[in-house]
Amino acid sequence: MTCQAGRALHNTIIMQDASSPEQDAAAPAYDWSGLWGGMRAALSLPGLVMSCSFIGFGALINSLGFPLLAGAATVPLIWALPGQVLFVTMWHSGLALLLIAAAVSLTAVRLLPMVIGVLARVRLPGAPRWPEYLLSYFTAVTIWVLSVTHLDNVPKQQHLPWLVGLGATLMTAMCVVVPAGYYMADLLPPVLAACMVFFTPAFFLLSLIASAKWRFDWAAVAAGIVLLPLARWFAPDFDLMLAGVGGGTLAFLLFRPRRKGLIGKGQPHE
């Protein structure tokens, strides 16, 4: 109780006196006024690219004959476009639920290092941990990219709230964008509809290249690209597993970094 009161008082002090964040060192707390900045950033160019990807996703579920409501539900339930695309395409192919779950989960494994990378950058050690769980709910490729590129001018106590505001706004917006894409797919000329679908692979591949820092990152991108056609020819049902797990493992074994200092951009941890 006293602790909560103290924290509230502390927040008030930070709000009123944002110019001296150093005094925060004793009892770290997040400054939730950062929410607004993140919400505004959602309307920037990355938000636009994301919207196009999700319009493409809406067009994709339309072309598969997948029900709109279920397609839109993938936004708050999965919130990672590779997993969403996999779920609807594999469901469309009539594959066993267990196989779908395994494949979706495999693409979601990358969220683990992503969440760790984002949190290592924005969390305040010693502060309550529930905001970290909240942020992890919204964490996916776009949040990760923006946490690397957009936080330099945001005070440290506002980092996590800023990303939560960004993620919540994007998720809400995409729930509307998916139905828009679904209905636009019928109205658009086929070439334009195809272009919308193409936003997704283009954005994914370029994000991978943009976030690749290490030789094994590059090797993993190349291995995934080169091995997929081979794996498709070899075992069409397991092409993603073979190319992903096989290619990633190969890239890691061949190009494993000798020295340490990686995921938090070399940031000291704790």
Partner 1 sequence: MSEALWIIACMVPAGMAVTYVWRLLGVMAVAHIDPESHVLLWVRAVSTALVAALVMRIVIAPSGVLADIGLVSRLAAIAVGIGVFYVTRRSTNIATFASVAALGVLALLVG
Backbone angles phi, psi at 6, to 5 degrees: -60, -40
CA distance 99 to 263: 30
CA distance 97 to 118: 31
Six-digit token string for 238: 């397991």
Nearer to partner 1, 35 or 80 (CB): 80
CA distance 230 to 269: 40
CA distance 136 to 160: 10
Nearer to partner 1, 14 or 59 (CB): 59
Q: Provide the minimum distance between the beta carbon of 24 and partner 1 in the complex, in angstroms, as a whole number.
A: 19
Q: Provide the minimum distance between the beta carbon of 1 and partner 1 in the complex, in angstroms, as a whole number.
A: 25
Helix residue ranges, H only, 79-158: 81-92, 97-108, 111-122, 130-138, 141-149
Nearer to partner 1, 3 or 69 (CB): 69
Residue environment code for 100-123, b if the CB has 16+ CB neighbours within 10 A, otherwise e: beebbebbbebbeebbebbbebbb
Nearer to partner 1, 11 or 91 (CB): 91
End-to-end alpha-carbon separation of the chain, Å? 27
Angle between helices 159-187 and 68-77 (to 10 degrees): 170
Q: Provide the minimum distance between the beta carbon of 19 and partner 1 in the complex, in angstroms, as a whole number.
A: 30
79: left (phi over 0), alpha (psi -120 to 50) or beta: left
Q: Provide the minimum distance between the beta carbon of 4 and partner 1 in the complex, in angstroms, as a whole number.
A: 22
Q: Provide the minimum distance between the beta carbon of 37 and partner 1 in the complex, in angstroms, as a whole number.
A: 19
Nearer to partner 1, 37 or 248 (CB): 248
CA distance 112 to 7: 30
Nearer to partner 1, 32 or 87 (CB): 87
Q: Provide the minimum distance between the beta carbon of 36 and partner 1 in the complex, in angstroms, as a whole number.
A: 23
Q: Provide the minimum distance between the beta carbon of 141 and partner 1 in the complex, in angstroms, as a whole number.
A: 8
Nearer to partner 1, 14 or 47 (CB): 47
